Amino acid sequence: MDLSFSSDDLRFRDEVRAWIAESLPADLCAKADVDAHFDMEEVMRWHKLLHAKGWVAPHWPTQFGGPGLPPTRRFILTEELELAGTPSLSPFGLSMVGPAIMQFGAPEQQQRFLPKILSGEEVWCQGYSEPGAGSDLASLRTTAADDGDAFVVNGQKTWTTYAQYADWIFCLVRTDGNVKKQAGISFVLIDMRTPGVEARPMLTIGHTPAFCDTFFENVRVPKTQLIGPLHGGWTVAKALLGHERTLIAAVGHSQRAIRRVKRIAAAQGVLDDPSWRGRIARLEIQLRALQMANYRTLAGAALGHAPGPESSILKLRGSEILQNAFELAMDLMGPDALAWFNEPGVVPELEQSVASSYCYNRATTIYGGSSEIQKNIIAKLILGLPGA
């Protein structure tokens, strides 16, 4: 297994770096330099610049409007965007429902939805978790009753990230309550402007309006918006979650978080203190090990192997390392870590939203499947442990 980059790949990396330096607008670059938060307007502005370049969806094949980049170049592009601190694009259309529609959707569904996902004309959110169905997703209660040429959807979804900005939501709904719980679920697309849909933003403990509760009251959904077979939503969901868990490894984001930790340590005058240096070094070693695991997955993808249960390893360790990086940043800043958004007098003054990011990233070991779920998958499907 070859884990090295070719000379052509290295030239592509240089091309990506040069394009980002030239194309990232000055106001977004200023925010990236201090790892500040990007609002939705800024995210979508960057989305459209990437779309114009042809790089907004590096994993999309050419038949669906993507660049058809090989796995290694997809990885390089994604990593360089993360390392540069560019706005993180919403994954719900590009990386989740888009690939699901490619794999399971009918040709007319692909023609209707994929071009507008690619261009950013339509923004998506995810309707999976419910108040009583998070990690145990198959226990969901949102129902979709058969009503001729439509389903009538009733229920509630929660943790629907940025639903207040979304045009569409993809949902898991129960279409048969008389069978094994995984077998009675379907995957549907719902226009957020449909009567009976309401998204209510909630303020996170990081003081950001990232999440919503989304309610459905007698919402009519045309059956043409069913993806895959009736009652076949669990299969679609599992395929989609495999891609999400690979994304959550976020090696580039963790590298930037560790750079921030070093900046804070230097500003606090403790970068040469052995105890702090030891904690930083341990974190860097863990990240390097994750990076090598990511490279192994990349090498497998280059040979045509789809992400399998090993994506749970990437998700598990990636989310833990990101949490640990922000925990170390909080420890280094001491009382100043309690300032949310770069208040005057905070040391170091250029570090924005450390506490907010720390709080938000506590969720990384929950969303996309909790760490306990990932450990069960690893034990059963990779280690082959009995009773797992």
Active centre residues (catalytic): 244
Average pLDDT over residues 294-310: 73
Average pLDDT over residues 84-89: 94
Strands 211-222 and 197-202: antiparallel
- Asked if 127 and 133 count as a contact pair (C-beta separation under 8 A), the reply is no
Q: Are residues 270 and 371 in the same domain?
A: yes
Whether 81 maps to a domain, the answer reads yes
Q: Are residues 31 and 69 in the same domain?
A: yes
Q: List phi, psi (to 5°) of 155.
A: 150, -165
| CATH number of the structural domain spanning residue 202 | 2.40.110.10
Q: Provide the 8-state DSSP code for 229.
A: S
pLDDT for 342 beyond 60: no
Share of the chain above pLDDT 90, in %: 62
Q: Are residues 214 and 315 in the same domain?
A: no
Whether 281 maps to a domain, the answer reads yes
Cβ atoms within 10 Å, residue 88? 15
- Asked if 208 and 358 count as a contact pair (C-beta separation under 8 A), the reply is no
pLDDT for 320 beyond 80: yes
In this prediction, residue 296 carries a pLDDT of 81
- Asked if 101 and 243 count as a contact pair (C-beta separation under 8 A), the reply is no
**197-240 pLDDT, tens digit each:** 999 999 877 777 889 999 999 999 999 999 999 999 999 988 87
Q: Are residues 216 and 139 in the same domain?
A: yes
The H or E element containing residue 200 is: strand 197-202
Distance separating alpha carbons of residues 189 and 294, to the nearest angstrom: 32
Q: Are residues 357 and 325 in the same domain?
A: yes
In this prediction, residue 343 carries a pLDDT of 57
Distance separating alpha carbons of residues 186 and 177, to the nearest angstrom: 11
Q: Are residues 62 and 145 in the same domain?
A: no
In this prediction, residue 319 carries a pLDDT of 92
Domain membership of residue 149 as a residue range? 124-232
Average the pLDDT over each of 126-140, 215-229, 266-280 and give the range with the smallest value.
126-140
Average the pLDDT over each of 17-31, 142-156, 285-299 and give the range with the smallest value.
285-299
Q: Are residues 217 and 288 in the same domain?
A: no
Average pLDDT over residues 271-295: 93
**154-195 pLDDT, tens digit each:** 999 999 999 999 999 999 999 999 999 899 999 999 999 999
Average pLDDT over residues 339-362: 70
Whether 205 maps to a domain, the answer reads yes
The H or E element containing residue 260 is: helix 251-267
DSSP, collapsed to helix, strand or coil, labels residue 144 as strand
- Identify any residues that bridge with 295 across adjacent strands, giving them in sequence order: none
Q: Are residues 377 and 253 in the same domain?
A: yes
**45-62 pLDDT, tens digit each:** 999 999 999 999 998 999
Domain boundary, last residue among 174, 198, 232:
232
Average pLDDT over residues 296-319: 78
Q: Are residues 155 and 221 in the same domain?
A: yes
Q: List, as one string, the DSSP characters of 28-69.
A: HHHHHHTTPPPPHHHHHHHHHHHHHHT-S-TTS-GGGTS---
In this prediction, residue 3 carries a pLDDT of 56
Residues in the chain: 388
Angle, CA 90 vertex, CA 340 and CA 10 arms, to 5°: 100
Distance separating alpha carbons of residues 246 and 257, to the nearest angstrom: 19
pLDDT for 128 beyond 50: yes
Q: List phi, psi (to 5°) of 127.
A: -115, 75
Q: Are residues 257 and 346 in the same domain?
A: yes
In this prediction, residue 356 carries a pLDDT of 83
The tokens for 295 are 């490279």
Domain boundary, last residue among 232, 258, 290:
232
Selected residue with higher pLDDT from 340 and 66 = 66
Q: Report residue 65 CA to chain centroid gap.
A: 21
Whether 107 maps to a domain, the answer reads no
Q: List, as one string, the DSSP characters of 95-112.
A: IIIHHHHHHHS-HHHHHH
What is the total count of domains within the chain?
3
Half-sphere exposure (CA, 13 Å, Cβ side) for 86? Answer: 26
Domain boundary, last residue among 66, 89, 112:
89
Distance separating alpha carbons of residues 382 and 308, to the nearest angstrom: 10
Residue 348 banded pLDDT, cuts 50, 70, 90 = low
Rounded to the nearest 10 degrees, the angle between the axes of helix 7-23 and helix 71-83 is 40
Q: Report residue 121 CA to chain centroid gap.
A: 19
Highest mean pLDDT among 32-36, 61-65, 136-140, 359-363: 61-65
Distance separating alpha carbons of residues 195 and 162, to the nearest angstrom: 19
Q: List, as one string, the DSSP characters of 118-136.
A: HHTSS-EEEE--BTTBSSS
Residue 370 banded pLDDT, cuts 50, 70, 90 = confident
Whether 280 maps to a domain, the answer reads yes
Q: Are residues 226 and 255 in the same domain?
A: no
Average pLDDT over residues 63-75: 91
- Asked if 172 and 141 count as a contact pair (C-beta separation under 8 A), the reply is no
Whether 103 maps to a domain, the answer reads no
- Asked if 364 and 295 count as a contact pair (C-beta separation under 8 A), the reply is no
Average the pLDDT over each of 18-32, 138-152, 195-209 and give the range with the smallest value.
195-209
Q: List, as one string, the DSSP characters of 316-377.
A: HHHHHHHHHHHHHHHHHHGGGGG-SS--TT-SSTT--SHHHHHHHGGGGGTTTS-HHHHHHH
Q: Are residues 357 and 312 in the same domain?
A: yes
In this prediction, residue 346 carries a pLDDT of 57
Whether 111 maps to a domain, the answer reads no
Whether 117 maps to a domain, the answer reads no
| CATH number of the structural domain spanning residue 293 | 1.20.140.10
Give this prediction's pTM.
Answer: 0.86
- Asked if 220 and 151 count as a contact pair (C-beta separation under 8 A), the reply is yes
In this prediction, residue 203 carries a pLDDT of 83
pLDDT for 1 beyond 50: no
